[in-house]
Structure 1
Amino acid sequence: MRQLKYMNKFHPYDLAFKRHCKEGKLPNYVVIEQRYLDLKPLLPGNDDHPSHDVAHGQRLVKEVYEALRSTLLVVTYDEHGGFFDHVPTPVAGVPSPDGVVSAPPISFAFDRLGVRVPAILVSPWIEPGTVIHRPPGPEPTSQYEHSSIPATVKKIFNLKEFLTKRDAWAGTFETVLTRTTPRTDCPEELPEPVLLRSSAEAEEHRGISEFQAELVQLGAALNGDHATEAYETDKLVGGMTIAEAADYCQRAFAKFREECRRCHDCGMDESYIPEVQPAAPPAAPAPPASKLCICFPCFRA
């Protein structure tokens, strides 16, 4: 996603999403990222991660639903939240996406699935109350899992290739779109979520979480800081607040976008991945003795 050809595909949700929906400019396939950092006064974290109020995450779902009720909205999560699952995780016949094995001593081959996560499909082209469990294929051991999303996209848009062996194996869910005419009984608006926290004020001066630190490290990979000593020694995220993390990530992305524009203007191929050079470290202050020597010529007889 860092190739030049993708740079104009990123848009700020708060400024562009509803407008693009209204103007009919929304692409056929859109991924919406939540706000992972809780900021004052109008930008609360809406990613459902602790300690953010889940009401903000549900308000995001409400906004998206009300903006594009005529298409297919997929709401899913990347983890189960720690809840017990009585269904054993699939371990047989699950292909490794690309054959990569993690470093020893774990040496995980990525050839099994994890616990189940919710997946909600919302569309007027789906019969009400539809529930799906196991896919009919493409393999006898196929399951619905996160790779089902790119697998379904490939099937709907007749794309040439799968991304990995995993999405080639995953079940697809386009079969739930069974109606020939859209439903007319879908609500136009959803209820307003009720805040659960006693205070809705963002806590932007708190230290960042481990997950938020990883977001900062991703930003460092964009602006070149990943090649600096500060990144290697973990000085980059140590003691960083949420507000500082948000500012850092915003500046990192802006710096990467600027490098992309420069590469584009230089005629680089669209498949080129720009690399931002790390900023030069500030010059060390001169020792006191050298300062005295520098000042000596200033004293004239």
Structure 2
Amino acid sequence: MRQLKYVGNFHPYDTAFKRDCKAGKLPNYVVIEQRYFDLKLLPGNDDHPSHDVAHGQRLVKDVYEALRSSPQWHEILFVITYDEHGGFFDHVPTPVAGVPSPDGIVSAAPVSFAFDRLGVRVPTLLVSPWIEPGTVVHDPASCGGAPEPTSQFEHSSIPATVKRIFGLKEFLTRRDAWAGTFDTVLTRAAPREDCPATLPEPPRLRAAEAEEHREVSEFQAELVQLGAALNGDHDGEGYDPEVFVRGMTVAGAAQYCRDAFDRFREECHRCRDGGMDGSHVPMLQPASASASSSAPAADPPATAPAPATPSALSKLCGCFPCFNAS
């Protein structure tokens, strides 16, 4: 995704996504990223603690209503899924047999994890006028979406389903070739016309405002480290990822990530204007930038559409804030 040919696929959610919905110009595949930094002006809407989950549910409401009012509504499959289960007890044992490793890679010792099992279940919602109301699916075998006897729904089910819907030629790994697909729930002969136009407003659950001057969480620190890779700071002399984020505030981290992306995007445009090939990956020199606790808020989340071949259901929108976690 860092190649020059992809830089034009990233757009601000609040402007580009709603504009394209209204104009009926959504690309075939859209991924919506949440706001991961909790700021006073732009609260986090990723459902991570200690963020108010009402903001995350409002994002789902906004996305749904934009899709529902779009002239492309009859082409939409809206996927809402999570990468974690939230710590709740699950009585269903995690799948450990017949789960293929994606690529045969084993993690470093002493863990030496072979990536040949799944984790606890996480929820997923599928929203489309082509799905019968009240549909509940627990496993791919029950809906005809199991390519192998041991296949399960898991996060690789998303690229596996994309491959089936758009008729793509190859799987990405052994895992998505094995994963169950959910295109089989699109069973209606004609789209529903009774889907609600709007959803209820989620009530605010947190009375206090965002604590943007608190130190970043472990997850937010990892986002900053990803930003350092874009910004070139990871190649700086004596760079230590843990030291780099030590003492960084949420507001400072948000500003750093915004600046890193803006700097990387500017370099992409410079390379493209200079005639570089689309497969080129721009590499920045260390910026030696630091983030302060007084830094302003970051931009809204971005959508990352990727083109695909049209089909009967030609628009797949994912909101990744349920499958088995792998």
The TM-score normalised by the length of structure 2 is 0.83
Partner Cα distance (1:153, 1:165) in 2: 15
Distance of aligned partners of 1:140 and 1:239 in 2 relative to their CA distance in 1, 3 Å threshold: same
Higher relative contact order (CA 8 A, sep 6+): 2
Is 1:126–1:176's contact at 8 Å kept on the other side of the alignment?
A: yes
Task: Tell me what 1:39 maps to.
Answer: 39
Q: Deviations over 1:64-98 (max 9, x none)?
A: 00011221110000011111111111111111111
Aligned length in residues: 280
Task: Tell me what 2:88 maps to.
Answer: 83
Task: Tell me what 1:289 maps to.
Answer: none
Letter of the 2:61 partner, please give it. Answer: K
Task: Tell me what 2:193 maps to.
Answer: 184
Superposed displacement of residue 40, structure 1:
2.1
Task: Tell me what 2:62 maps to.
Answer: 63
Partner Cα distance (1:48, 1:107) in 2: 31
Task: Tell me what 2:320 maps to.
Answer: none
Does 1:132 pair with 2:148?
A: no
Is 1:230–1:236's contact at 8 Å kept on the other side of the alignment?
A: no
Matches within 5 A, 1:48-197: 48-69=47-68, 70=73, 71-136=76-141, 137-197=146-206
Superposed displacement of residue 197, structure 1:
0.9
Task: Tell me what 1:293 maps to.
Answer: none
Does 1:207 pair with 2:206?
A: no
Distance of aligned partners of 1:172 and 1:44 in 2 relative to their CA distance in 1, 3 Å threshold: same
Partner Cα distance (2:270, 2:120) in 1: 44
Task: Tell me what 2:262 maps to.
Answer: 254
Distance of aligned partners of 1:214 and 1:91 in 2 relative to their CA distance in 1, 3 Å threshold: same
Distance of aligned partners of 1:230 and 1:196 in 2 relative to their CA distance in 1, 3 Å threshold: farther
Matches within 5 A, 1:258-297: 258-279=266-287
Partner Cα distance (1:252, 1:241) in 2: 16
Q: Deviations over 1:90-146 (max 9, x none)?
A: 111111111111110000011110000001101111000101122132111100100
Superposed displacement of residue 235, structure 1:
2.4
RMSD of aligned residue pairs (Cα, Å): 1.5
Superposed displacement of residue 231, structure 1:
3.4
Is 2:79–2:125's contact at 8 Å kept on the other side of the alignment?
A: yes
The 3-state SS of whatever aligns with 1:149 is helix
Distance of aligned partners of 1:269 and 1:76 in 2 relative to their CA distance in 1, 3 Å threshold: same
Partner Cα distance (2:237, 2:57) in 1: 40
Unpaired runs of 5+ residues, structure 2, are 290-326
The 3-state SS of whatever aligns with 2:152 is coil
Relative to its length, the structure with more strand (as a share) is 2
Distance of aligned partners of 1:233 and 1:191 in 2 relative to their CA distance in 1, 3 Å threshold: closer
Partner Cα distance (1:104, 1:93) in 2: 23
Letter of the 1:117 partner, please give it. Answer: V
Is 1:207–1:242's contact at 8 Å kept on the other side of the alignment?
A: yes
Of 123-132 and 270-279, deviating more is 270-279
Distance of aligned partners of 1:230 and 1:21 in 2 relative to their CA distance in 1, 3 Å threshold: farther
The TM-score normalised by the length of structure 1 is 0.90
Partner Cα distance (2:130, 2:241) in 1: 52
The 3-state SS of whatever aligns with 1:276 is coil
Q: Highest CA radius of gyration, 1 or 2?
A: 1
